[in-house]
Chains A and B, each alone.
Chain A
């Protein structure tokens, strides 16, 4: 069978920033995939060398729009690592609170979009409905729905208002209940299972060889979590590390749903601690001595890495930034080959790149030189619809039953 080359990108709703995928297919099957990046290179590392340390933290917050707090978290760690700055206990709890609330809304965003891509729009609307109260809590706590500007070297920039605790608890209870319901639906629903189970498998060996991080690695059986391995703030709270072993899209979904429930529990521990732990929330650092520092943080997508090299002035000599997607995106090469084109969409999305661009349809020329227009999103949805008919028949799925109630 002759090979056909399908360009995906550089602007496509599935890709974080703008990347170009060159997919080679034989019939429906993907046989090779090549990637090209660099459409959104903004030179943050170079800009950071011209900013003071406090300004750098605000700068790196703008790298990602969804997990905006993970870069300041890691950058602050790196700057503190140069001098081993100690952070007040209250500031540590505030940092955990912000980080975990962000993990909840980032995973909910992924969950919704994953549902949307496979044609499960009910899941999409639910997940985004439950995401909204989380953003409203952020607005109350920090004044912003996104880009919270909470981080400083040596602590946080604003105190947490203890009067907000009674308002946050009902949202957490609601989130936990709804997440258990979605976890149950994912387990019971035959369509969701057969659409995602065994799709886009990333083996443990490939995950280790490609140096994957975060939920992508944990769903493949690699037991890493920076929160546990690096300690620091997260030594104050208890949480499990969720590791699953199949490496398919279904396991990546389950890992994320379980992590939302864990994050809710961590936030509860923080809320319990806030009235007990008082005192300072910022240890004012006036000078960073010459040296090197490494900081990292478990963002919703994986390990964020920052390296700071200081010469004793108020600006970094070198500021290296590595986002988790940089190591997760190349795993496509291992997981996409050999699967149908309709599944390539959800496999590309399963690594959780950010979605900020517009939809793009693909154009293929057939034997008679006529234009065939396909839309990957429609193809993926059609597959789910056919599966739904075949599996469920006339019976109603659990999701339909809940929707009727």
Chain B
């Protein structure tokens, strides 16, 4: 473990829960209200790059896993934010990181997660599809699916 790593976990020890450490991969849970502060520290202070975010539907809600890559050490920092199944909402980090714009639009499109504060939240991948309407989010299980016409 590098110095940057220890410093990061000491600074945010109150805000981080359930840390899983694997070689070069660190997964941890954070709360929605701490997301901006932690993403700001990872991106601007530690110089990490936002690779992508993975949204997953699990039995008790939706999870969004942010993948921040530290390219100097090869370590991946993966903060995980949870939200509910009904009206999922997460704070947007697109005003800070331009690369997050498309990433959040993709998650809104496929999972219907509303990103609060996103400059231009609209569908990305199914925007021109004749099979999906505005309220259809194709990666959700049994919800908001297009009915057979």
Chain A interface residues toward B at CB < 8 A = 10, 36-39, 41, 43, 45-46, 81, 84, 206, 208-213, 223-224, 229-231, 292-294, 296, 303, 305, 307, 309, 317-318, 320, 322, 326-327, 330
The reply to whether B128 and A326 contact each other, CB–CB distance below 8 Å, is no
Given contacts A38-B128, A45-B139, contact A229 B51 (CB under 8 A): no
Known: A292-B27, A307-B65. A39 touches B128 (CB 8 A): yes
Would you call B52 and A37 a contact (CB within 8 A)? no
Shortest distance between the CB of A103 and any CB in chain B (Å): 19
The answer on a CB contact under 8 Å between A294 and B25 is yes
CB-nearest residue of chain A to B74: A229
Which interface residue of A38, A209, A305, A326 has the most chain B CB atoms within 10 A? A38
- Interface residues of A: mostly helix, strand, loop or mixed? mixed
Which B residues lie within 8 Å of A230 (CB)? 24, 74
Which of B6-14, B33-41, B93-101 faces chain A? B93-101
A307 to B27, CA, bound (A): 13
B49 and A294 within 8 A (CB): no
- A208 in complex: contacting residue of B49, B54, B123, CB < 8 Å: B49
- Listed A/B pairs (29) with beta-carbon separation below 8 Å: A10-B128, A36-B127, A37-B124, A38-B128, A41-B126, A45-B139, A46-B139, A81-B25, A84-B22, A208-B49, A209-B98, A210-B98, A210-B99, A211-B49, A211-B50, A211-B51, A211-B97, A223-B71, A293-B25, A294-B76, A296-B51, A296-B69, A303-B51, A303-B69, A305-B52, A320-B52, A322-B51, A327-B99, A330-B102
Contact B99 A305 (CB under 8 A): no
Q: A326's closest neighbor in chain B, by CB?
A: B102
> Smallest Cβ distance from B51 to chain A, in angstroms?
5
Total chain B interface residues with beta-carbon distance under 8 A? 36
A200 → chain B closest CB, angstroms: 17
Q: How far apart are B77's CB and chain A's nearest CB, in angstroms?
A: 11
The reply to whether the CB of B88 lies closer than 8 angstroms to some CB of chain A is no
- Evaluate contact between A305 and B51: CB separation under 8 angstroms: yes
Produce 1/0 per residue, B116-127, CB < 8 A to A: 000000011111
Would you call B127 and A38 a contact (CB within 8 A)?
yes
B87 at the interface (CB under 8 A from A): no
Residues of chain B in range 55-98 having any CB-CB distance to chain A below 8 Å: 56, 65, 67, 69, 71-74, 76, 78, 97-98
Q: How far is the CA of A224 from the CA of B56 in the complex (A)?
A: 28
A37 to B127 Cα, complex, angstroms: 8
B142 at the interface (CB under 8 A from A): no
Residues of B within 8 A of A317 (CB): 56
Whole-angstrom distance between the alpha carbons of A206 and B67 in the complex? Answer: 20
Q: Are A330 and B101 in contact (CB under 8 A)?
A: yes
- A230-B74, A294-B25 known; A305+B67 contact, CB < 8 A: yes
Give the CA-CA distance A209 to B93 in the complex, in Å. Answer: 12
Q: How far is the CB of A100 from chain B (nearest CB, A)?
A: 20
Known: A81-B25, A224-B71, A330-B102. A209 touches B125 (CB 8 A): no
A213 to chain B: which residues have CB within 8 Å?
49
- Extra A-B contacts (19), CB below 8 Å, given A38-B126, A229-B71, A303-B69: A37-B124, A38-B123, A38-B129, A45-B139, A46-B138, A84-B22, A84-B23, A206-B98, A211-B99, A211-B100, A224-B71, A229-B74, A293-B25, A294-B25, A294-B67, A294-B78, A305-B52, A326-B102, A327-B52
